[in-house]
Structure 1
């Protein structure tokens, strides 16, 4: 199921300073919003997520306790069955109620979340080819909703 590392995360105090730093290292900016940025480590394979925040107010920033594993699209569709078979349970992401895998069209990826025995957030994630006319969709879609769109 797991093919490699999809992403790693770091908390940063000032996103603009960090953007300049990682660009100097030669990393290519993949995506950003007001408080997060993602740089390609290997373009199309893995990236580094930077999350702006005050490390003293959030000493256990979620970025320090989260990694995502790269899986195929087809494996992600079967991920709940796989997790159950190895006696693990998926967990909802953010404010979502559902544990079902979901698509993020505007980011071109899909995910399902679960935790390790210490409560670290783990994610199975894959890239999704998004037609240009659907890249504006920022809501999270189920696989069924996504496949009906494309």
Structure 2
């Protein structure tokens, strides 16, 4: 029944700054209004709503302020450089420093490769690429370069 993510919403403190940021990620503006702005993640299939508010500093919890963008594995391997060219820094995740990313997550029954960064308001963003589906794998998180050597 469920085919994918249709929408996600994030609070932002400066809608103009956020519009520029998400455009730099290659997202297409779908609608710009007074209270909310929408970007297409995949045109006609999924979008991201940004809500300008003064209360962006509310306590952080990743389930409330995190979005993972599905990307191809080949794109993920070049994502750190791609982000840095846009003035966006990769952040530490799961005790892996930015220079160690992308990392491989053993999320059974599907393992993923991922890279983490923040938007201007500190919302957690992730580029994620599936590696193996429906396969129970027992390993610890590792750098994608290490994964590639083993697989």
TM-score by length of 2: 0.55
Following the alignment from structure 1 to structure 2, what is the Cα–Cα distance between the partners of residues 124 and 78?
11
- Could you say if the C-alpha distance between residues 70 and 129 of structure 1 is closer, same or farther in structure 2, counting changes exceeding 3 Å? same
Match of 1:109 among 91, 112, 132: 112
- Could you say if the C-alpha distance between residues 70 and 98 of structure 1 is closer, same or farther in structure 2, counting changes exceeding 3 Å? same
Match of 2:128 among 120, 125, 129: 125
Contact 1:103 1:109 in 2 (8 A): yes
C-alpha offsets along residues 98-119 of structure 1, whole Å, 9 cap, x if unaligned?
A: 4411112444111100000001
Following the alignment from structure 1 to structure 2, what is the Cα–Cα distance between the partners of residues 130 and 148?
19
Matched, 1:77 2:80: no
**In structure 2, what is the equivalent of residue 149 of structure 1?**
150
Q: How many matched pairs?
A: 98
Please give the secondary structure, in 1, of the residue aligned with 2:128: strand
- Could you say if the C-alpha distance between residues 6 and 110 of structure 1 is closer, same or farther in structure 2, counting changes exceeding 3 Å? farther
TM-score by length of 1: 0.55
TM-superposed deviation, 1:125: 0.5
- Could you say if the C-alpha distance between residues 116 and 149 of structure 1 is closer, same or farther in structure 2, counting changes exceeding 3 Å? same
**In structure 2, what is the equivalent of residue 60 of structure 1?**
60
- Could you say if the C-alpha distance between residues 146 and 128 of structure 1 is closer, same or farther in structure 2, counting changes exceeding 3 Å? same
C-alpha offsets along residues 105-145 of structure 1, whole Å, 9 cap, x if unaligned?
A: 4441111000000011100001002695x7111x1111221
RMSD after superposition: 3.1
Contact 2:90 2:115 in 1 (8 A): yes
Following the alignment from structure 1 to structure 2, what is the Cα–Cα distance between the partners of residues 109 and 103?
6
Contact 1:6 1:68 in 2 (8 A): no
Moved over 4 A (4+): 4-8
Q: What 5-or-longer segments of structure 1 have no aligned partner?
A: 9-57
